[in-house]
Chain A
């Protein structure tokens, strides 16, 4: 092991690093940690520990003057993840919250958020998203080398990294400090207690701050299964701590990827192939205006001393694009979707019970079709990345949901070793799934390799909107039958383009008690790039299932909320619906003349029920007055940040249902900027009461679950108001507009 190869002076430091590494690779434990190379350990030490800091375990550092730093292996894109994770760790550590700060984990293998996988390994029943599978070798439960790493997605940070990792890291750190104090004071460990970053031995009236024991504590191995607190004793978790990232976001000091300044930096503007599959056959600069042109094949880049000059020069270029699928259009795609919907040869049956086919051979069966469009992410910060490639090394500055993939893909594109690529992850100006792709990163790396200088590549809004990994468009056919006021059978067929959603999350489930069910998807590979869009497959499935549930309620002549309750046996679902009826004043709208619609979706281990309250004027303009949300996400870590996530995810859904539609004509994306792809703003945002159910259950996700019910709650309200059933989105397809 590494100690033998080092000189005496460094043994202490190396031992500590070794220890820290062993704690880091939690799934594999000490053996894997010891297998880390000295090189790796050096990176580790250089990247994390400064000066007098002592690293207690992978996720927490402590200084002699009692300052605690929590290392965050997830990206901050508005969800307050650093604060929430730090709260979970500080709670179990018995830390003084006022002394806690956070630091972004370096994008190195040691800081992969392996606790995603650990939940599975330690058998705590957590669902592991598919993107985490490569981390696990199921034969040996080892963490696969260089697989995936610091992914922020799937609403996993709190429910997996936090619940299975950060809490345990905090508790283990506290135990180590208590052991150090017990040893120093020569008393049994169980007579030592920790409170607010101070260790006490009450019998002898001794006490000392955590920092006093930092170095001594680090000599102990962390207990991988430390005792953890009962939620009843929580003092930090469950309180609305101010988010640690907010102060610098009101002064303009927060640095997003877009804001990085590297000395000697050039700026690059990009024109990507307007038609999928086209290549830049020739590039002519008639005005001879461009400082430097880089032809990437599927994109042309101009580099200049300022972005504006680069963008202007790019516009003047005469680029001849060749190839690509010019016949691609939304009309053609819709026809293909419909073909796939009726074609059952490749169907995948996702859920089956009883005999739905037999039950639905009835004239009582209702059969309807739904359709939803492609959607762009349209993060406020357009895609960008700053890169420097020099002397066989690459540095990247970018706000990214998956910085390890950014590193790996840049390394592959440049032919460099991964360890020669460093990613500096910045704040993300919105992610929503878009910033888990590495297209912008690879482009910047390739351009920087050409220029030899640092280069900041900036996509225009038009480039951003027309080169997305879109939420897949799809069509759905739902059939169902109501007998004696209850749903006796349901059959759902839908066209499926894979956007990365793990089947284990069961987005396809019809979340009601129905004895005869058949749910089948018909795979269809989208001809344009698709990817995860906030709540992924739940956005489409939530709309189909919750719209159809409303249609069945109408068929049964039942109240939509009571009808849902009549088909729910899960007590948590029932409690959410009952609370929602109360909080939203169901059946007695607060707005005179308003109509209400309800929807409830369980996604990412969180249940969200919503009631929309609307009026429609004579010009078919819909005003959404209120959207009340009742949420059961188990234990709430930070009520203020949690409420913000529900606001955020429902506004995201509402922008889509009112305005969102990406279409294709002649192979090109039609929508280019916000006027063609409009957004909810202050004037048409509803009042948004959010109620969390009291719960000590393990936390569910919160970044996404507020999205799926919003569209059907709204369209169900439109049905209640107008008798018109919206089966295609956005609303304009049914003739409705926003106020």
Chain B
């Protein structure tokens, strides 16, 4: 963990505007999600008297078709989306980095086999595989948030593996790796102590950008009714439930859509900003 901190030491985030804006947006959404119980009301409480009520001082975002407070549902939705997206990103990063590092470091047949597997994954549209997998998991294990996580991780690790493989290919020719071999270190030692800490910068950038993408994927699955199941509030699913009332009560779709856009925007800006900072540092080195 402290290696990650070491990488960020000396970075002055406020100097980079992209980073500054992105970080504010991301922090804003994270804070909203974390303090949801303090800010919002009960997102499950229905009140048919307030069905499809428009935004007011009592219900900032209005109410949905069951009279639930939309503001609360959107904010609790931020919780779901962020937790699931970050979990997926973390799992994919672990799996992808390990596979990519092994592939790049050992080369030869291992690299060929992993390379072809990656090619196969890249040749199929991700969302199609995700939809199919969620369906399969649902019939076997019943509906659960883990279905979505596993299905997305299944296609998502590939980008981490590709990036890590590339970095490792260039790192393993560096002299300090040679030096480490000369002192008799094992391959696993070299991989975990020397190669992965050096590869962390670009991987962190990728992970940040990736969280934005995953939020979109989760929302897409939710919109199709395959994601996180109601009544748990989730942005894509809120969009779906509002689509029949788009002419009469547009706020049901507008506010979840706004939050999806805002969070993806925030993570992308943060990622781009981090890339600027880390790449510049690499060139400087």
| Binding partners A and B | no
